[in-house]
């Protein structure tokens, strides 16, 4: 299946300018909005279940393929349009379950579960309230 995965990767790149490596680990029900236009994912990335990635998202990394470092994205995470996930060289970056990364945000540090991140560099704006799926305004220390 590796040859088929590499062929799909090449065709996807030429059609949509998206780099989706077959080495990345992806959970179930990943949704790539807008045909994954311009999405770039480093091979040393793990994406959880039920995640949603919008167009022009970059999930980068400066690690070797066999390194334990890289990016780990939890379950039910949303990555907004034009967001960038960029860990420091040879470090691990984790985005917790149910987090939302806003459009244009640049994430360089770990994101706690349920956090809503915005800005450059990304900062916690709010936390999601898991019981009601609404946004809560309670301050929580980072």
* Pair of tokens at residue 119: 């800005």
Contacts of 50 (CB under 8 A, 6+ apart): 27, 28, 29, 30, 75, 76
All domains in the chain, ordered by first residue: 2-129 (2.160.10.10)
Q: What's the pLDDT tens digit per position in 79-123? A: 999 999 999 888 899 999 999 999 999 999 999 999 999 999 999
Dihedral of CA atoms 116, 57, 45, 17 in degrees, nearest 10, equals: 170
Confidence of residue 133 (pLDDT cuts 50, 70, 90): very low
Q: What's the pLDDT tens digit per position in 1-40? A: 778 877 887 887 787 777 778 788 899 999 988 878 888 8
Report the relative pairing of strands 40-41 and 92-95 from DSSP bridges: unpaired
State the pLDDT at residue 96.
Answer: 96
Please determine, for residue 129, whether its predicted confidence score (pLDDT) is greater than 60. yes
């Amino acid at each position: 299946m590796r040859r088929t995965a590499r062929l799909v990767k090449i065709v996807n790149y030429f059609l949509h300018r998206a780099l989706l490596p077959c080495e990345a680990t992806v959970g179930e029900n990943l949704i790539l909005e807008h045909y994954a236009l311009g999405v770039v994912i480093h091979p040393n990335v793990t994406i959880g279940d039920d995640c949603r990635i919008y167009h022009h998202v970059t999930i980068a990394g400066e690690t070797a393929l066999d390194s334990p470092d890289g990016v780990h994205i939890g379950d039910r995470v949303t990555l907004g349009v034009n967001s960038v996930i960029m860990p420091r060289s040879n470090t691990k970056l984790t985005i917790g379950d149910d987090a939302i990364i806003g459009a244009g945000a640049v994430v360089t540090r770990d994101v706690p579960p349920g956090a809503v991140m915005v800005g450059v560099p990304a900062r916690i704006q709010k936390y999601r309230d898991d019981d009601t799926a609404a946004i809560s305004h309670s301050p929580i220390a980072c």
